[in-house]
Structure 1
Amino acid sequence: MDLILWRHAEAVDAAPGMDDMSRVLTTQGERHAERVAQWLNERLPSEVKVLVSPAVRTRQTVQALRRRVELCDALAPRQGVQAMLQATGWPDAPQPVLVVGHQPSLGMALAHLVGGQPLAQAMPWRVRKAGLWWLRCERRPHERVGVVVLAVRTPELQ
């Protein structure tokens, strides 16, 4: 199974009284999301499942991908890594899954899946805004699940 973790691009700071879920991307965030989406569109298989947090900034981040997306409440801020991994079907989903979500959940997932830290003790890895990590779960008979990092991208990389 391939699991791609994509953090939302840069968003405006919440104004007084503004709901965090309503924050929108900055102009730079829009450019960065477009750049990463272009990179993904050149590489993603057609059968990828795209799961997106219901926050406005994540929905805007994924727009340039121009693919069918599913809003997923389990990816909303503060829902936790366990909910996110369960929603993706990790490690047994039949197709690749792209998650567009938030810190610290994405960084906690990386600490757990790549770094081998128990979820209860995981310290989140830093994931840059609009950055992504492409992971692959590899299983061989009679072996534990192995995780391979296929790619790490930031919007600054061309």
Structure 2
Amino acid sequence: MNEKHFFLADESDMLAFAERLATQVQASKEAAQQPLTCYLYGELGAGKTTFSRGFIRALGHKGNVKSPTYTLVESYDLAPWQVHHFDLYRLADPEELEFMGIRDYLDSHTIILAEWPQRGAGVLPEPDIKMVIEYAGTAREVTVGALTTRGRELLDKL
């Protein structure tokens, strides 16, 4: 797995980092025809939702980006993509994703941002990118790993 480390001093750095990744996703015309799955790991409050908010806004969403902690998923139609932001913190069993119709969220124009993906193991699609966000005092250290060709192409441009 290829990986890079990033030091982000504050929330504005996290939002700018998310925007950089979203910009790379948008830059590739053929990327619109490929799904993208990004796993987001980190303790409570580490910045997973902040990253997701910045990423979704950078793709063109103008309204609020709500945390899907209670709903499990919030979806955004951001042509040409359908972005699904999952927060699986409250998921008791991965099979719950099957009951909620996870397959309906997956197609070639889908971007999945999954917080707490370990709770959906075996049901979520395999990730292209894995991000680990860790506390570094008041800052954050982000490790981004690329697990597919698509993930490596994006990571190389960050």
Fold match (TM-score > 0.5): no
Identify the TM-score tier after normalising by the shorter chain.
Answer: 0.3 to 0.5
Q: Which has the higher contact order (CA 8 A, sep 6+)?
A: 2
TM-score, length of structure 1 as denominator length: 0.42
TM-score, length of structure 2 as denominator length: 0.42
Larger radius of gyration: 1
